[in-house]
Amino acid sequence: MNTRQLLKGVTLSLTATFLFSLPSFGQEVKPTPQDYNVVESLEKVFESVAEKVKPAVVNISTVSEVKFKHPPIPPEFRDFFFHFGIPFPFDNMPDEFKTKSLGSGFIVKVKNGWAYILTNNHVIDKATKIKVKLSDGSIYKAKVVGKDPKTDIALIKIKIGNKKVPTVELGDSDNIKVGEFVIAVGNPYGLNWTVTHGIVSAKGRHGLGLNPIENFIQTDAAINPGNSGGPLCDIHGKVIGINTAIVRNAQGLGFAVPINIAQKVMNDLLKYGKVIRGWLGVYIEDLSPEIAKKFGVKKGVLVTKVVKDSPAEKGGLRSGDIIVEFNGKPVKNVSDLQLKVINTKPGEKVKVKIIRDGQKKVLTIKIGEMPGSKQVAMENLLSKYGFSVQKLTPELKKRIGIPKWIKDGLIVTTVKPGSPADDAGLKEGDVIVKAGTTPRSMEIMRSVDDLLSIIKKANGSGVLLKVVRGENVIFLVLTSEE
């Protein structure tokens, strides 16, 4: 007998007990041994999940530095305090302050001495220090592998060497049903490794304004501040979601990112260093009942605008079209189409069934790559080195006074103090003209992608840079902290 059958038996047994053992007024209730056996069986299911999942759940603590600019103080204002012999109150105002926060995460993979942890992006976003506490009490400094603000997912890692650490088992969030039991594990209010349970209240929740991409699992399992990033599990102990959000001033309303979405983000970050998403290039909205009735459809989305030179325009989509199928699958609503598109590999040709002027048509559209992915990749890959770059344009060359003999290159726009880039000697205004893993493999840097490719090839072993600084040419070796 599997767990689902056991829970069904529990429900039937408890119902029968209530109906046929209903006491008369004033009569003492006497549970039978069978009643206790049924309840104890249910308890064992929750105990089993807790024992299986808790060791792989971690406590994440972060420190963030918030910097701010003081407004200019007029001299006469300062003189006013000086005249009355009062110390000027704004001289000791700090230029920055630190904030601390807590969250949760869970170990999903161990490879080459590193333990990889899934959590929420908002848990570690803008953090200058990230510490991870394991269930055995050991504490590690974490590094960011990559993050995806669109889904609020982040992947971090800790160096564990040969230490054995437990990992969770990932489930399939597409197959969960409304009404199923779920168990949430996390660190609410700093109360480490807290376990709560409830049911799946709804699926596919969107339009909440929490993330750009929303397809939440809604649950009534208790989720509180500090639970963010922790796992939401089924009764077999498989992770089906990442606890993400709560609704303020509401009870029994919690939301989790489906694990299938998080797993796709994780795999892309590990393989490509960025999240690869398909792009159609349309503005869409859900069908109103009136429009749906007029066109004789039950489900679909209305195209309100087509982006110029987008895959949609090239494929023949027009404003006013109703998309009812995408690659042979029905389109339910805006969120459904968005997920179908972003999970399609760029370059793939898909069949899109539409209704135009009351007639059904099938268009063949070649999916593109979502704009902005390259910028996200630069942030993810270069964040560990502590600097950023920009392609050298004729306007920049003229404005900054770059030597005329430099045709191509990347200008360094920021260098974070104390970072690997700073340690290597890189400075703002430097122009990177060549890069490679060895002197012979050095390539001309014509785009940011060129540098990202070299960094990816180096895999932390070090990147040799040819840099122009003023009229001088220097060579620097850039290594990560790993």
Question: Quick check: pTM over 0.75?
Answer: no
Mean per-residue pLDDT of the chain: 82
In a domain, 342, yes or no: yes
CA–CA gap between residue 141 and residue 229 (Å, rounded): 17
Query: Where residue 19 falls among pLDDT bands split at 50, 70, 90?
Result: very low
In a domain, 405, yes or no: yes
Sign of CA dihedral 331, 334, 336, 342: positive
249 is in an annotated binding site: no
Residues 29 and 119 in one domain: no
CA distances from 65 to 54, 101, 166, 203, 350 (A): 31, 12, 32, 37, 46
Residues 110 and 15 in one domain: no
In a domain, 164, yes or no: yes
Residues 305 and 362 in one domain: yes
Residues 224 and 87 in one domain: yes
Q: State percent of the chain over pLDDT 70.
A: 82
Residues 160 and 257 in one domain: yes
DSSP 119-168: EEHHHHTTEEEEEEE-TTS-EEEEEEEEEETTTTEEEEEEE-TT------
pLDDT at 167: 93
Query: Where residue 23 falls among pLDDT bands split at 50, 70, 90?
Result: low
Residue 140 pLDDT > 90: yes
Residues 154 and 285 in one domain: no
175-184, 207-216, 381-390, range with greatest mean pLDDT: 175-184
DSSP 323-334: EEEETTEE--SH
How many domains in the chain? 4
In a domain, 374, yes or no: no
For 16, the enclosing helix (H) or strand (E) is: helix 3-20
The CATH number for 125's domain is 2.40.10.120
Residue 170 pLDDT > 90: yes
Give residue-wise pLDDT tens across range 45-82: 888 888 999 999 999 998 876 555 545 555 555 565 55
CA–CA gap between residue 213 and residue 340 (Å, rounded): 12
Catalytic residue IDs: 122, 152, 228
Pairwise pLDDT comparison (253 vs 155), residue with the higher score:
155
> By residue range, what is the domain housing residue 49?
3-54
Helix (H, G, I), strand (E, B) or coil at 307: coil
Other CB atoms within a 10 A radius of the CB of residue 386 amount to 21
Q: How far is CA 359 from the centre of its chain?
A: 40
Residues 253 and 328 in one domain: no
pLDDT at 234: 93
Residues 114 and 242 in one domain: yes
In a domain, 223, yes or no: yes
Residues 48 and 76 in one domain: no
Residues 88 and 50 in one domain: no
CA distances from 195 to 101, 168, 246 (A): 20, 15, 16
Select from 251, 275, 299 the last residue of a domain. Answer: 275
380 is in an annotated binding site: no
In a domain, 375, yes or no: no
Residues 173 and 196 in one domain: yes
CA–CA gap between residue 66 and residue 83 (Å, rounded): 34
Query: Where residue 20 falls among pLDDT bands split at 50, 70, 90?
Result: very low
Residues 320 and 466 in one domain: no
pLDDT at 389: 85
In a domain, 379, yes or no: no
Select from 249, 275, 301 the last residue of a domain. Answer: 275
125 is in an annotated binding site: no
The CATH number for 297's domain is 2.30.42.10
In a domain, 377, yes or no: no
197 is in an annotated binding site: no
Query: Where residue 18 falls among pLDDT bands split at 50, 70, 90?
Result: very low
152 is in an annotated binding site: yes
Other CB atoms within a 10 A radius of the CB of residue 422 amount to 15
pLDDT average, residue stretch 270-279: 84
Give residue-wise pLDDT tens across range 355-412: 998 889 999 999 988 876 555 555 555 666 778 888 887 777 777 777 778 888 888 8
